[in-house]
Amino acid sequence: MRKTIWVLNGPNLNKLGGREPELYGSQTLAEIEQNCQHICTEADIHLEFRQTNHEGMLIDWIQEASTKAAGLIINAAAYTHSSIAICDALKLVKVPSVEVHLTNIYQREPFRHHSYISPCVNAVIAGFAGKGYTMAIRAIIELIR
């Protein structure tokens, strides 16, 4: 059976492209997904790419990924800085996991400097805009090969 990499996106990331472009750039989430899809297709990996504005939905999806995914990438967006529940859910995930942020959260407002997600994943990529997602996909493919 083909392995699946799950990419989960949190609140407001559906607005990428038009949302604070000076920070997040002009790339839409659909374009980021396409780039991830391209790499996965070449590697014969299935991609499950999702976005939600709801914390509970992210938790349901992380729980689902914990039994189905070969690797997990998460940009929890603002929940990064507030959600102990997402951190707890991520502890269920036993496959390679990467936290991704478009921006370098450590260069931004102090309230973005703390991540509840980082202690619960294997790695963090922040500050490479949409390319951070494709870097994370390639890293996970290398690990699960």
Tokens of 35: 């780039």
The reply to whether 101 sits near ligand DQA by the rule CB under 6 A is yes
Where does this chain touch ligand DQA (CB under 6 A) — which range of 41-49, 65-73, 100-108, 133-141? 100-108
DSSP 53: S
Nearer to ligand DQA, 129 or 143 (CB): 129
Could you count the other beta carbons within 10 Å of the beta carbon of residue 94? 10
CB atoms within 10 A of CB 18: 9
Q: How far is the CB of 28 from ligand DQA (least distance, A)?
A: 14
Q: Give the span between the Cα atoms of 47 and 17, in whole angstroms.
A: 22
* Residue whose Cβ sits closest to ligand DQA: 77
- Catalytic, 101? Answer yes
* 3-class secondary structure, 51: strand
- Where does this chain touch ligand DQA (CB under 6 A) — which range of 48-56, 65-73, 82-90, 99-107? 99-107
Residue 12 is a binding residue for ligand DQA (CB under 6 A): yes
With tokens 């690797």, the residue in question is 71
For the record, the structure tokens of 47 come out as: 């991609």
Active site residue 54: no
Q: How far apart are CA 55 and CA 10, in angstroms?
A: 8
Quick one: 41 or 82, whose CB is closer to ligand DQA?
Answer: 82
Return the number of the residue (86 or 101) whose C-beta is nearest ligand DQA: 101
CA angle (19, 106, 120) in 5-degree steps = 95
The residues annotated with a catalytic role in the active site are 24, 101
Residues that bind ligand DQA (CB under 6 A): 12, 75, 77-78, 80, 101-103, 105, 112
